[in-house]
């Protein structure tokens, strides 16, 4: 026994000093708290090990556990040509979102219109507004287009696929800049005919994915006029572009009512893009 440590002395039950009894109680309390804390950490780690989430709560009835929240889409989803179909909205989506489509809408045959870019012999004036009509200035990696319509409304959606998410982000920034800078431009046809496009300021949204939407009016060479709601959305390495059109019969308010609100149509495209991103392997 070291000289610095006193020899222990036997004490009868109940003879322990008050300081010793308080110390014992204090240590028992500390140990109990530590046990509870370790148990709580283990529970959180067990629930969070799979998806980083906290343990689910108890339902209002107290009879069970709340179902986990729906999976969030990846922050930078990457699509390829085989995935593009999942990014298109459906006829049912449109019937729910666009008032003029509520009675039914059908797929339209596109023919030559399904190709990326301007039709042969067509140009944009001023030329710096080209991207407002073509989404990107150079041919993309992949491109697809679909259209639906009835007597009152036409809805076109394009998917422009870029080589990477970085390339798509750069292209989307350029697109937003051009759209803001080009409230009016012309599409000049090979025979000298022209369509005049006038747009309202774009409303930008930071939903699940960055997007913008705006109203537009197109005066065509045949003297007809269309009211439009059009928008663009960035999802990973793809840019989704959509245009809802209806004949403008002189009553702009009625035409807008047939098309629906920019926010509603944008939300429809956002929801479809989110589902496609979550479904990626």
Domain containing 23: what range? 16-69
**113 and 211 within one domain:** yes
Residue 230: partners with Cβ closer than 8 Å, 6 or more residues away: 199, 213, 214, 216, 241, 242, 243, 244
Q: Is the pLDDT confidence value at 174 over 60?
A: yes
Q: How far apart are CA 96 and CA 92, in angstroms?
A: 6
**104 and 63 within one domain:** no
Q: What is the pLDDT of residue 60?
A: 37
Residue 11 resides in a domain = no
**127 and 248 within one domain:** yes
Structure confidence by residue, pLDDT tens digits, 227-266: 999 999 999 999 999 999 999 977 878 898 999 999 999 9
The confidence band for 39, taking pLDDT boundaries of 50, 70 and 90, is very low
**223 and 140 within one domain:** yes
Stronger pLDDT, 61 or 136, i.e. the higher one: 136
Stronger pLDDT, 59 or 203, i.e. the higher one: 203
**φ/ψ of residue 166, rounded to 5:** -65, -45
Q: What is the pLDDT of residue 71?
A: 59
Q: Is the pLDDT confidence value at 33 over 60?
A: no
**199 and 156 within one domain:** yes
| Average pLDDT score, the chain | 80
Q: Is the pLDDT confidence value at 191 over 90?
A: no
**40 and 175 within one domain:** no
The confidence band for 73, taking pLDDT boundaries of 50, 70 and 90, is low
Q: Is the pLDDT confidence value at 132 over 90?
A: yes
Q: How far apart are CA 34 and CA 5, in angstroms?
A: 30
Q: Is the pLDDT confidence value at 274 over 70?
A: yes
**189 and 150 within one domain:** yes
Q: How many domains does the chain have?
A: 2
Q: Quick one: what percent of the chain has pLDDT higher than 90? A: 63
Q: Is the pLDDT confidence value at 173 over 50?
A: yes
């Amino acid at each position: 026994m070291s000289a610095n440590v006193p020899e222990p002395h036997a004490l009868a039950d109940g003879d322990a000093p008050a300081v010793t009894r308080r110390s014992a109680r204090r240590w028992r309390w500390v140990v109990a708290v530590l046990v509870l804390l370790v148990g709580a950490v283990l529970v959180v780690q067990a629930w969070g090990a799979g998806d980083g989430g906290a343990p689910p709560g108890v339902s209002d009835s107290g009879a069970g556990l709340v179902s986990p929240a729906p999976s969030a889409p990846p922050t930078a989803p990457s699509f390829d040509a085989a995935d593009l179909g999942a990014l298109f909205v459906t006829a049912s989506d449109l019937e729910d979102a666009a008032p003029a489509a509520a009675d039914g809408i059908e797929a339209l045959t596109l023919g030559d219109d399904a190709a990326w870019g301007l039709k042969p012999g067509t140009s944009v004036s001023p030329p710096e507004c080209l991207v407002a009509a073509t989404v990107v200035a150079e041919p993309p990696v992949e491109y697809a287009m679909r259209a639906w319509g009835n007597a009152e409304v036409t809805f076109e959606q394009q998917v422009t696929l870029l080589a990477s998410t970085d390339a798509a982000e750069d292209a989307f920034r350029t697109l937003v800049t051009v759209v803001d800078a080009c409230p009016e431009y012309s599409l000049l046809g090979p025979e000298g005919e022209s369509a005049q496009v006038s747009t309202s300021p774009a409303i930008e949204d930071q939903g699940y994915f960055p997007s913008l939407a705006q109203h537009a009016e197109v005066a065509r060479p045949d003297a007809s006029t269309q009211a439009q709601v059009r928008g663009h959305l960035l999802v990973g390495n793809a840019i989704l572009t959509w245009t809802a059109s209806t004949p403008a019969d002189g009553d702009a308010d009625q035409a807008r009512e047939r098309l629906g609100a920019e926010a509603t149509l944008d939300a429809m495209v956002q929801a479809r893009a989110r589902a496609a991103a979550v479904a990626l392997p």
